[in-house]
Amino acid sequence: MAAIDHEIAAISGAVSALPDAGARPAQDAPAAQGRGQGDERATGRTASESQAGSRATAGLRIEDVVVTYPAARTGRGSAGTVTAVNHVDLTVAPGEVMALLGPSGCGKSSLLRAVAGLEPVAGGRVLWDGADVGSVPVHLRGFGLMFQDGQLFAHRNVAGNVEYGLRMHGMPKASRRARVAELLDVVGLPGSESRSVATMSGGERQRVALARALAPQPQLLLLDEPLSALDRALRERLAGDLRAALVATGTTALFVTHDHDEAFTVADRVAVMSGGRLLQVDEPSRLWAAPASREVAEFLGYQAFIPADGGWLAIGPQGLIASAGAGAGAGAGGNATSASGTASAGWTATGAGPGAAAFSGVVVSAAFRRGYTEVVVDADLGDGIQRCAAVAHGAALWSPGTQVTLTVAATAPVFVPATPDHPRPLSPAPTR
């Protein structure tokens, strides 16, 4: 119950600065990381973060954090603990927007809640501007929170919701009005002060919730899947608007999502999580261009993998084209199981290009996507049968059981190294 009170106080903007923030001597602080800087291939502590060690770092520093729950509460056993966050290190620089991206149950929300102080840490530390906030109560951390459902006060109008935290801080009425108007502009709801939130759409309510969270100028805004309750089109539009609002207000933010497109749209850098661990942290374009492992690549949306020396060439969405007949390089039999080995001819780790190889496959299903038909195909790209998606050229290919040739589309694949979690036991595919 106490935690809920704190949560409501925090999301309402009833936050104040850390007592000791800013008291630290300036020379303790290393230069703040700029937007998008840093390259943290995170399986454990990153090189840059190891160098920082325990020196004070401006902004948020998550240091070796562990979050556990009693196993009985998960229903997976009657004793012991479940580790939801497993020794995570992460730095969010002032003004930076960081996305925590990972599948359901990977520990994103637990980490966010640990930063907020809503969940105790079983190990490690959370620091703001170099000060350990472990003993600072939720409502005194100076962090704002925004959740999936916005949690607006239904009996207050838009202005009443947005100004709630400002009122708690004792801001004079005229200043409050000006700040509310400014924020409603930022979130795309200018002039809506007197509207009842009960009459608003889900998207509009989330905009109000964002304005309310931003109003007290939190030193860190924590967003837990703020768009996931909305439909896809609205989510895509609001993701862009959310990014714009965070940038316009210079807000430092940690944003939880399971949607890679959303993470890429909103964040300066994306931290990919799985099984309680951080797998990789990088800018969206660099993450996409160089996934550190097959697990990261699969989670980002790479959907087919061609064996190459020391790893795979990963093929992205719409990266395979299906056309009629068996693949030329995939064996005369043309069925999916005959393609092993020879199917990869023409591919090298560094010199891959479109159209260099063809693979045989068998159509499993077909579905119309936005602007094209996609067939799901079982094909051997050199590592055994994989189920992959391809853009279908021609309606004749849509029936299950149809034999097709797969070629790589104009978008070049990227190289993904084998890792201990995902070794490539097969011999490397032949190269030309």
> In the complex, which residues of this chain contact ligand ATP (CB under 6 A)?
69, 73-74, 82, 84, 102, 104-110, 258
What are phi and psi for residue 113, nearest 5 degrees?
Answer: -70, -30
Least distance from ligand ATP to the Cβ atom of residue 280, Å: 16
Least distance from ligand ATP to the Cβ atom of residue 157, Å: 31
Least distance from ligand ATP to the Cβ atom of residue 66, Å: 12
Q: Is 285 exposed, middle or buried (0-12, 13-18, 19+ CB in 10 A)?
A: exposed
* Cβ proximity of 259 and 102 under 8 Å: no
Strand, coil or helix: what is 276? coil
Least distance from ligand ATP to the Cβ atom of residue 55, Å: 29
**Pick from 15, 250, 32, 36: which is nearest to 129 by CA?**
32
Q: Which is nearer to ligand ATP, 256 or 349 (CB)?
A: 256
Distance CA 332, CA 220 (A): 60
Distance CA 158, CA 255 (A): 24
Strand, coil or helix: what is 50? helix
Least distance from ligand ATP to the Cβ atom of residue 67, Å: 8
What are phi and psi for residue 261, nearest 5 degrees?
Answer: -60, -40
Q: Which is nearer to ligand ATP, 106 or 339 (CB)?
A: 106
Residue with tokens 């007290």, as numbered in its chain: 216
Q: Which is nearer to ligand ATP, 57 or 110 (CB)?
A: 110
Q: Which is nearer to ligand ATP, 85 or 352 (CB)?
A: 85
Q: Which is nearer to ligand ATP, 262 or 374 (CB)?
A: 262
Least distance from ligand ATP to the Cβ atom of residue 3, Å: 11
Q: Which is nearer to ligand ATP, 111 or 389 (CB)?
A: 111
**Pick from 340, 309, 348, 273: which is nearest to 108 by CA?**
273
Residue with tokens 């068996």, as numbered in its chain: 326
Distance CA 212, CA 197 (A): 12
Distance CA 189, CA 211 (A): 9
Q: Which is nearer to ligand ATP, 106 or 230 (CB)?
A: 106
Least distance from ligand ATP to the Cβ atom of residue 202, Å: 19
Least distance from ligand ATP to the Cβ atom of residue 71, Å: 8
What are phi and psi for residue 185, nearest 5 degrees?
Answer: -65, -50
Q: Is the dihedral of CA 86, 91, 92, 94 positive or negative?
A: positive
Q: Which is nearer to ligand ATP, 192 or 257 (CB)?
A: 257
